[in-house]
Amino acid sequence: DLCVSLRMLFQEQYNIVTTTEPDIMMMMVKSFKPELVIVDALPTERMRLRFSQMRKEDPHVRIMIFYASFFDNPRLHEFIRQSVDAAFSKPIDLAEVTKRINDFALSAQ
């Protein structure tokens, strides 16, 4: 499972909080003011709106999304890519994701 792998990989370096509920995610973003939000979800219009709301709440938050490679709506795909800092279709390259997360951490310092 991707979430478990990322948690194990980064738990010593970062404070990690997880949820499977999008509404809880939005409340957590408001409460915790994270530097990075990682989302594993289908890139829907509703998710794009959530990303826009996160940006309104905190313009500095970094957003990364993982999504299934079978997703086939090019227009929405482009909207999602414009709404996030990094997007990865599955299967993902964990080394590439790790590099991107570390790059985000370095740029935040």
User: Domains (ranges, CATH) in the chain?
Assistant: 2-108 (3.40.50.2300)
Give the pLDDT confidence score for residue 61 in this predicted structure: 92
Whole-angstrom distance, CA of residue 96 vs CA of residue 79: 22
Strand partners for 37: 63
Residue 64 tokens, joined: 């990364």
Cis peptide before 74 (omega within 30 of 0): no
Give the pLDDT confidence score for residue 62 in this predicted structure: 93
Name the 3-class secondary structure at 13. Answer: coil
What tens-digit pLDDT sequence spans the chain (109 residues)? 777 888 888 888 888 888 889 999 999 999 998 989 999 888 788 988 999 999 998 999 999 998 876 666 777 677 777 889 998 888 888 899 989 998 988 887 6
Give the pLDDT confidence score for residue 86 in this predicted structure: 93
Residue 61 tokens, joined: 């938050």
> Of all residues in the chain, what percent are helix, strand and coil, respectively (each to 5)?
55, 15, 30
Q: Assess contact for 101 and 81: CB atoms under 8 A.
A: no
Give the pLDDT confidence score for residue 92 in this predicted structure: 87
pTM of the shown model: 0.84
